[in-house]
């Protein structure tokens, strides 16, 4: 590096004044008008204007930034006092990972990126205090730079100690813990953390949102050392590191914060008028994965989401569409999940055994900052307003899966542990993938029985897709050539709509469009619902329930999402048809009862179809009748005989008796005989 020419302070202030006047004057005036007391300076512009000044900033940032702030205060503008100068766009070689910060970097101006893990409260902090000498009336100004409060040691007149404090200057201050982004790490490394100190306008409510736990940010700041005070009260020889932030920018936003320029807006509106809009969007969702058009369409609607409604009585209908993919291994589920996390901002990906209930919802941890307990948000909370992809859901332990129930339907996470009672918001869309019970689907078995997930959880998913891997010559040929070509030329299937633009398109739809359902769409949904309810075949006095009210809400959400993607504020009959098609497709795959030829949602919801339930109640009746005839111990053969008369096959009877034994309604006192408990 070239030899640094030390510039004296007054020269520095003058040079900064010239620079700010030529480059940033309009921005300063604009910010003052909006009552923002800071200006953001592009480092590239500064180094172009004056290289020495730029180098000085990197080597001795504290004094240089002070000089820049004094330079701004020289401008003849009202209310300019206390104006801050923030720098961004530092050169590549100033970027550093948290793990690589060493003692050489102390006092230097660096650029660090990471994810916010914890955040303390905002508290006032003294920056300077004025004291008066009681003997000669001299006023002494003491700067408060480090942790402990300093008083002047002596006055010019010779007096020592006991000075009167006249006033103190306070600024708002806050600490956050920044952790490295896992993507940049090598194999078995654990992400390192560092404390960041924010003050003044960096903790204003506007920038507060940027630093919420879970958001990715990059920070420009000065690296400082902090003395560690031992229990004895003396200072330790090791020091802690901290970064005093000068500027923060958020790297990853939710769909609601993606910025869209006017040109992009025109392009987006143009695309929405395209008659081929849906097929183009579907093709661009996951171009490298062959087939599954219905699934891709559902994922597209999931990214757009429905409309969240809060009624007067504070009952909330969620707008997020949850989707579950259950399929044979190797059918591309994880690839789809990974792809969706790249399209959606704030997408999180978690998988199977590596997930605990606390990691999904929230954990109570000891807080080093404020001492005591604090909450650390889990994946579902961190992905609020985004999407959380949960892979290998069947491998999670049941207790951990139960933690998701509330987050899926109520969209909150409540915690009551270690004197913390809190409700966190998790407006998260969930896309989950699981394998069937025995690893693969048995093509001849009943699908609903092969999904090994609790009924209450399954019921919360709006759409359930089944991926079956069944040999089929033409399809296999197409798929094989698709996959092999991809290996030959990795970028062969470029999406028709580039990922970045697709992201902006969905963001625009989510930000600007709040569709309302038209009467024609409502009637379409209502007709479908009533038709499905009526079609539940009556079998031996028990009705199959083909569809429940939860699916009705799912239909509404999907209809709204379809209108959003068309950027239309009215959800029409066609949107309703698209939603009905998807729901029907899912129900046919999962809820179809071959015995009755009916769609039966109980299959999915409880794992026992209505026809089975009717057998159970009939056999319970038979047992009661026989009990009154032959006494407590009833021969099994008699039960089978009676059931035959009622048209129930022998293996069905045995299956039902097994079930009743399992739930503890009957027991076998001796071989071949049953008794009621």
- Span 35-53, pLDDT tens digits: 777 888 888 888 888 888 8
pLDDT at residue 564 greater than cutoff 80: yes
Range 9-89 classified under CATH 3.30.1640.10 = yes
Give yes or no for residue 542 having a pLDDT over 50: no
Output DSSP code: residue 95: B
Q: Which residue has the tokens 């949850």?
A: 322
pLDDT tens string 164-193: 788 887 888 888 888 887 766 766 778 888
Q: Tell me what pLDDT residue 538 has.
A: 47
Question: For position 443, what pLDDT does the model report?
Answer: 67
- 561 pLDDT above the threshold of 70: yes
Percent of the chain at pLDDT above 70?
87
Give the model's pLDDT for residue 244: 86
| 108-127 mean pLDDT | 81
Which residue ranges make up each domain of the chain? 9-89, 99-252, 262-590, 610-676
Query: Average of pLDDT values for 399-405?
Result: 79
Q: Is the pLDDT of residue 91 over 60?
A: yes
Q: 108-117, 206-215, 236-245: which range is least confident on average?
A: 206-215
Better pLDDT: 597 or 539 = 597
- Name every residue whose Cβ is closer than 8 Å to that of residue 530 and which is 6 or more positions away in sequence: none
> Does CATH number 3.40.640.10 belong to domain 262-590?
no
Mean pLDDT over all residues of the chain?
78
pLDDT score for 274: 78
Residue 445 has a pLDDT of 67
pLDDT tens track for 454-495: 777 777 888 888 887 777 788 888 888 888 888 888 777 777
Q: For residues 78 and 253, which has the higher predicted lDDT (pLDDT)?
A: 78
Tell me the mean pLDDT in the region 533-550.
58
pLDDT mean over 515-544? 74
What does the pLDDT average to over 63-78? Answer: 79
Q: Domain 610-676 belongs to what topology? A: Arc Repressor Mutant, subunit A (1.10.10)
The tokens for 69 are 């702030």
pLDDT of residue 5 exceeding 70, the answer is no
pLDDT: which is higher, 604 or 413: 413
Q: Do residues 289 and 337 make contact, with C-beta atoms less than 8 angstroms apart?
A: no
Of the pLDDT bands very low, low, confident and very high (cuts 50, 70, 90), residue 541 is: very low
| CA atoms of 405 and 426, how far apart (whole Å) | 12
Query: In percent, how much of the chain has pLDDT > 90?
Result: 0
Residue 617: count of CB within 10 angstroms of its CB: 12
Cβ-Cβ contacts under 8 Å for 100 (sequence gap 6 or more)? none
pLDDT of residue 540: 43
**Is residue 640 predicted with pLDDT exceeding 50?**
yes
> If DSSP codes are grouped into helix, strand and coil, which group holds residue 114?
strand
Per residue in 347-380, pLDDT (tens digit) is 778 887 777 777 777 777 776 655 566 677 777 8
State the average pLDDT over residues 600-617. Answer: 62
Q: Cα separation of 297 and 312, whole Å?
A: 33
- Which of 249, 309, 272 is CA-nearest to residue 567? 272
For range 523-534, the mean pLDDT: 84
pLDDT over 60 (residue 638): yes
Vertex 408 angle, CA 405 and 413, to 5° = 75
pTM: 0.70
- Alpha-carbon span 404 to 397, nearest angstrom: 12
Q: What is the pLDDT of residue 332?
A: 79
Would you state the pLDDT for residue 255?
61
Looking at per-residue pLDDT, the higher value among 156 and 247 belongs to: 247
Residue 101: other Cβ atoms inside 10 A: 18
Q: Which long-range contacts (CB under 8 A, 24 or more apart) does 192-196 make?
A: 192/98, 192/99, 193/98, 193/117, 194/98, 194/101, 194/112, 194/114, 194/241, 194/242, 194/243, 195/226, 195/240, 195/241, 195/242, 195/243, 195/369, 196/221, 196/242, 196/243, 196/244, 196/245
Domain range 99-252, its CATH number among 2.40.50.140, 3.40.50.720, 3.40.718.10, 1.10.357.10: 2.40.50.140
CA distance 408 to 252: 23
Average pLDDT over residues 255-268: 74
* Backbone torsions φ then ψ of 411, nearest 5 degrees: 60, 35
pLDDT tens readout for residues 303-327: 888 888 888 887 888 888 888 888 8
Q: Which residues of 133-172 are buried (b: 16+ CB within 10 A; e: fewer)?
A: beeeeeebebeeeeeeeeebeebeeeeeeebeeeeeeeee
Highest mean pLDDT among 203-212, 256-265, 273-282: 273-282
pLDDT band at 404 (very low <50, low <70, confident <90, very high): confident
Is residue 2 over pLDDT 60? no
β-sheet bridge partners, residue 95? 111
């Amino acid at each position: 590096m070239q030899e640094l020419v030390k510039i004296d302070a007054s020269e520095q202030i003058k040079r900064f004044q010239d620079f700010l006047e030529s480059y940033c004057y309009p921005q300063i005036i604009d910010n003052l008008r909006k009552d923002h007391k800071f200006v953001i300076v592009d480092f590239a512009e500064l180094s172009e204007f004056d290289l020495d000044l730029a180098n000085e900033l990197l080597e001795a940032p504290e004094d240089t930034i002070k000089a820049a702030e004094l330079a701004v205060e020289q401008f003849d503008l009202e209310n300019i006092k206390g104006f801050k100068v923030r720098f961004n766009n530092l050169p590549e070689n100033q970027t550093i990972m948290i793990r690589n910060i060493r003692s050489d970097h102390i006092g230097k101006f660096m650029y660090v990126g990471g994810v916010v893990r914890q955040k303390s409260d905002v508290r006032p902090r003294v920056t300077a205090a004025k004291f008066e000498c009681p003997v000669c009336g001299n006023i002494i100004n003491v700067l408060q730079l480090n942790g402990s409060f300093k008083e002047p040691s002596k006055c010019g007149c010779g007096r020592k100690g006991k000075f009167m404090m006249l006033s103190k200057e306070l600024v708002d201050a806050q600490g956050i813990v920044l952790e490295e982004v896992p993507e940049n790490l090598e194999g078995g490394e654990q992400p390192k953390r560092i404390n960041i100190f924010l003050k003044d306008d960096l903790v204003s409510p506007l920038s507060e949102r940027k630093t919420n736990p879970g958001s990715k940010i990059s920070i420009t700041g000065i690296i400082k050392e902090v003395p560690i005070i031992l229990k004895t009260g003396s200072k330790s020889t090791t020091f802690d590191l901290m970064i005093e932030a000068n500027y923060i920018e958020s790297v990853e936003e939710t769909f609601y914060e993606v910025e869209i320029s006017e040109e992009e807006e025109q392009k987006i509106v143009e695309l929405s008028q395209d008659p081929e809009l849906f097929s183009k969007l579907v093709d661009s969702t996951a171009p490298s994965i062959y087939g599954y058009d219905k699934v891709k369409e559902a994922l597209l609607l999931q990214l757009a989401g429905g409309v969240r409604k809060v009624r007067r009585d504070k009952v909330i209908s969620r707008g997020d569409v949850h989707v579950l993919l259950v399929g044979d291994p190797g059918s591309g589920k994880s690839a789809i999940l990974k792809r969706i996390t790249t399209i959606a901002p704030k997408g999180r990906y978690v998988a199977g055994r590596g997930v605990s209930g606390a990691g999904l919802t929230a954990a109570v941890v000891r807080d080093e900052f404020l001492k005591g307990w604090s909450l650390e948000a889990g994946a579902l909370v961190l992905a609020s307003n985004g999407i959380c992809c949960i892979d290998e859901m069947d491998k999670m332990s049941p207790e951990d899966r139960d933690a998701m129930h509330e987050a899926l339907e109520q969209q909150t996470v409540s915690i009551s542990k270690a004197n913390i009672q809190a409700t966190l918001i998790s407006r998260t869309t969930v896309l989950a993938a699981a394998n069937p019970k025995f690893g693969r689907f048995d093509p001849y078995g009943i699908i609903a029985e092969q999904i090994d997930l609790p009924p209450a959880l399954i019921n919360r998913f709006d759409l359930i897709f089944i991926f079956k891997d069944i040999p089929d010559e033409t399809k296999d040929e197409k798929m094989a050539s698709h996959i092999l070509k991809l290996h030959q030329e990795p970028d062969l299937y470029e999406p028709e709509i580039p990922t970045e633009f697709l992201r902006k398109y969905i963001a625009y739809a989510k930000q600007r469009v709040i569709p309302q359902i038209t009467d024609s769409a409502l009637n379409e949904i209502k007709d479908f619902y009533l038709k499905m309810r009526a079609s539940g075949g009556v079998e031996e006095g028990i009705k199959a329930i083909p569809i429940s009210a939860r699916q009705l809400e799912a239909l509404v959400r999907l209809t709204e999402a379809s209108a959003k993607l068309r950027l239309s504020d009215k959800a029409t009959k066609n949107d309703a048809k698209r939603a009905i098609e998807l729901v029907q497709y899912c129900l046919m795959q999962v809820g179809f009862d071959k015995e009755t030829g009916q769609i039966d949602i109980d299959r999915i919801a409880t794992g026992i179809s209505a026809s089975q339930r009717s057998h159970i109640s009939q056999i319970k009746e038979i047992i009661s009748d026989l009990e009154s005839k032959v006494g407590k111990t009833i021969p099994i053969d008699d039960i089978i005989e009676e059931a035959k008369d009622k048209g129930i096959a022998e293996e069905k009877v045995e299956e039902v008796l097994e079930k009743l034994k399992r739930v503890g309604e009957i027991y076998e006192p001796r071989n071949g005989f049953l008794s009621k408990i």
